Amino acid sequence: MKNKEEEKQEEMSEKKSSFLGRRLREFFYVFTGFPITVAMSAILIAIFSNGISSVIYVLIVAIVLLALLASMEYVAIFEIARVNKMLKSEITPITTPWFSHPFFSWEGARERISSGRSWLVVLYVFSACVAPLLVFLPTVAAIGFFFVWVSSATIFNFAPLYRNLHVNVHDFGGNVSVSVDPHSLHVQVLGTTIDGNPVDSGFKWIFHSTTTVTASILLIAIALLLTPVVARWQKKLVERLLSSQSIVEKYRTSGVRLKKAVAVGTQDRNRIEKDLHDGVQARLTVTGIEIGRAQLLAEQAEQHEISEALAKASLENATAMQEIRNLVRGLRPALLEKNGLEAALKSLVEKHEIDISVEVKGDRFDSDVESAIYLICSEAIMNGVRHSHATSMSIKIAKKEKIISLEIKDDGIGGADESKGTGMRNMHDRVSILGGDLTVFSPEGGPTIIKAVIPCE
C-alpha cells in the first residue's frame, strides 16, 4: 500500500517538472528515428531481396538434386530391364524402394544424399552415354548420307524444275544455290553480307552417289562391328554399377567358390545340429527320464522332500531342453529339407502368436536358396514381433522365370534401422551371397516391407 502511494506521488512530480524536457526528448527520438529506420529498412530489403532469392535458389537446387538422387532407383530398374529385355541377359533385378524416410524430411534428405547406390547410378548415367556414341554417330551419319543421296536422285529424276535451286536471302545479301545432278549435290552459299563483305565460305558440299553409298556402308559396318563390344561394355556397366551383383563381385573370384562358401555354412549348421541332437539334447532327455524315475521312487517311499527337490530339478531340466530346442530349431529344419519352404514356413508361423499368412508359388528351389529364405523369414518374424509390435504379417514367395521374389510385410510401427543390429545385416548377406538383392522399407509409423530377389535355376 505504502509503496504504491509513493510511486504515484513520484510519477506525478516527474510529470509536472519535466513536461518540456519530455516533449523535446520525444521530438528528437521521432526525428532521428526516421532516417535510422529507413536505413535499416533499406538494409533489410536489400538483405531480404537478395537473401531470399539466394535462399530460394539454394533450396531449389537442393530439392532438384534430391529429386534426381531419389529417382535414380527408377533409372536403375529401367536400365536393368532394358538390358535384360533387349539383350536377353539375366541380370537379377533389384528391389526397391531404396528409401524409407519421406522425401521432405531431414532423415529422408540425408538418406538420399548418403545413398551410395544412388550415386553409383549417377556415375552410370554419365559413363553409359559415352560408348553408345561409337555406334550411334556412324549410324546417324550413314542414314543422313543415304537420305541426301536418295533425295538428290529423286529430285533429279522426278522434279527436274528443282535441279538448280537458288534461294535469295535478301537480309543476308546473298543467296544459297543448290544444284542437283544424278551423281552429286552441290550446296553453295554465295553473296555478300550487309557490310559488303563477300561470302563464299566452305558451304560447298559434294555428295557423289558412289562415295555416299560407300561411306554409308562403311559407317554402318563400323557401327555393326562396334555393336557387340559396346553392348558388352554397357552390360558390364549395368552389372557393375546398377545391379546388386556388383557387391558380390567384390568378394568372389569365381561363382564356384562362393557356392562352396554357402555350402560350407550349411554343412556347419547341419553338423552343429547333429552334435546337439545326439549329444546335449539326448543327454538332457535321459537326465529328465532319470529324474522322473527317481521321483517315482521317492513317491513310492513317501519321501516328499526328495520328491519336491526332484520336481524342481525336473523343471530346470525341462527349461534347458526348451532353450536348446529353440536354438537348434532354426539350424536345420527337417520340414524344410523334406517338404520345402511352404511346409516349413507354415510350421514356423504356427509357433508365433501373431497372425502370419504364407503364400508360396512354386515347388522346390535350390536348397541354399530355400535355407536363406527360411532364415530371412525367421529373422523378419522375430523383428516383427519384438521390435515392430506387429499384429499380423504376410509372407509371399513366387518364382518367375529364373528369379525368386520374396516379400514380407507387417503392420507394425516401422522405423527399422538397417545399420543397427546384426539381424538385418545377416538378411542382406544371405541374399547378396546368392547374387540377389534385398531392401528394407520401414518408415516411422510403419509398415515394414522387406523385399528380396534371388536368382535361381
Partner 1 sequence: MRVVLAEDVALLREGLTRVLGDFNHEVVASVGSASEVLGAVREFSPDLLITDIRMPPTNTDDGLRAALDVRAKISPKFPVMVLSQYIETHYASLLLGEGSEGVGYLLKDRVMDIKSFIHSIEEVAAGGTVIDPEVIQSLMMRVTDAPLATLTAREREILALMAQGKSNLGIAEVLFINESSVEKHISNILSKLGIVGESSNHRRVLAAIRYLQNR
Question: First and final CA of the chain: distance in angstroms?
Answer: 97
- Residue 323 to residue 242: CA distance in whole angstroms: 43
Q: Which of 51, 31, 53 is nearest to 43 (CA)?
A: 51
Position 396 contacts partner 1 (CB under 8 A): no
Cβ partners under 8 Å of residue 295, min gap 6: 307, 310, 311, 314
Number of H helices, E strands in the chain: 14, 10
User: How is the beta sheet containing 403-410 ordered, strand by strand?
Assistant: 355-361, 392-400, 403-410, 448-455, 437-441
| Min dist. Cβ of residue 87 to partner 1 (A) | 42
Binder among 120, 309, 335, 403 for partner 1 (CB under 8 A): 335
283 binds partner 1 (CB under 8 A): yes
Task: Give the shortest CB-294-to-partner 1 separation in angstroms.
Answer: 10
Query: Measured from the CB of residue 286, what is the shortest distance to partner 1 in angstroms?
Result: 4
User: Minimum CB separation from partner 1 for residue 353, in Å?
Assistant: 5
CB atoms within 10 A of CB 1: 5
Please name every residue paired with 310 in a beta bridge, in sequence order, or none if there are none. none
| CA–CA distance, 52 with 44 (Å, rounded to integer) | 11
DSSP characters over 176-237: EEEEEETTEEEEEEEEE-TTS-EE--S--EE--HHHHHHHHHHHHHHHHHHHHHHHHHHHHH
- 334 is a site residue for partner 1 (CB under 8 A): yes
Nearer to partner 1, 247 or 343 (CB): 343
Contacting partner 1 (CB under 8 A), which of 328, 341, 408, 453? 328
Task: Give the total of residues touching partner 1 (CB under 8 A).
Answer: 39
Of the residues 23, 293, 304, 312, which one makes contact with partner 1 according to CB under 8 A = 293
Only segment of 120-128, 347-355, 368-376, 420-428 that touches partner 1 (CB under 8 A) = 347-355
Beta bridge partners of 188: 177
Q: Would you say 32 or 319 has its CB closer to partner 1?
A: 319
Q: How far is the CB of 118 from partner 1 (least distance, A)?
A: 40
Q: Does 399 bind partner 1 (CB under 8 A)?
A: no
Residue 369's SS3 state is: helix
Q: Which of 301, 395, 263, 295 is nearest to 342 (CA)?
A: 395
- Residue 296 is a binding residue for partner 1 (CB under 8 A): yes
Instruction: Give CA–CA dist 91/338, Å, rounded.
Output: 30
The backbone torsions φ and ψ at residue 179, rounded to the nearest 5 degrees and listed phi first, read -125, 145
Q: What is the 3-state secondary structure (H, E, C) of 56-125?
A: HHHHHHHHHHHHHHHHHHHHHHHHHHHHHHHHCCCCCCCCCCCCCCCCCCHHHHHHHHCCHHHHHHHHHH
Question: To the nearest whole angstrom, how small is the minimum distance from the Cβ of residue 131 to partner 1?
Answer: 52
* Under rule CB under 8 A, residue 321 binds partner 1: yes
Site string for partner 1, 1-40 (x = CB under 8 A): ----------------------------------------
| Of 173 and 330, CB closest to partner 1 | 330
Please identify, among the stretches 163-171, 199-207, 226-234, 343-351, the one whose residues bind partner 1 according to the rule CB under 8 A: 343-351
Q: Enter the C-alpha cell of residue 115.
A: 545413398
Of these, 11, 14, 200, 290, which contacts partner 1 (CB under 8 A)? 290
Contact region with partner 1 (CB under 8 A), list: 94-102, 140-148, 200-208, 272-280? 272-280
Strand partners, 73: none
Per the CB < 8 A criterion, the answer to whether 430 and 376 are in contact is yes
Which cell numbers in the block locate residue 378?
Answer: 525367421
Q: Is 355 in the site for partner 1 (CB under 8 A)?
A: yes
Tell whether residue 67 is a contact of partner 1 (CB under 8 A). Answer: no
Q: Is 295 in the site for partner 1 (CB under 8 A)?
A: yes
In whole angstroms, the minimum distance from the beta carbon of 354 to partner 1 comes to 8
Q: Does 439 bind partner 1 (CB under 8 A)?
A: no
Nearer to partner 1, 208 or 293 (CB): 293
Beta bridge partners of 366: none
- Does position 302 interact with partner 1 (CB under 8 A)? The reply is no
Check residue 289 for interaction with partner 1 (CB under 8 A).
yes
Q: How far is the CB of 228 from partner 1 (least distance, A)?
A: 49
Determine if 382 is a binding residue for partner 1 (CB under 8 A): no
Residue closer to partner 1, measured from CB, 186 or 277: 277
Task: Say if CB 431 and CB 437 are below 8 A apart.
Answer: yes
Reduced to 3 states (helix: H, G, I; strand: E, B; else coil), residue 165 is strand
Regarding 278 and contact with partner 1 (CB under 8 A), the answer is: yes
Closer CB to partner 1, residue 299 or residue 417?
299
Which residues contact partner 1 (rule: CB under 8 A)?
274, 277-278, 281-283, 285-286, 288-293, 295-296, 314, 317-318, 321-322, 325, 328-329, 334-335, 337-339, 343, 346-347, 349-353, 355, 357
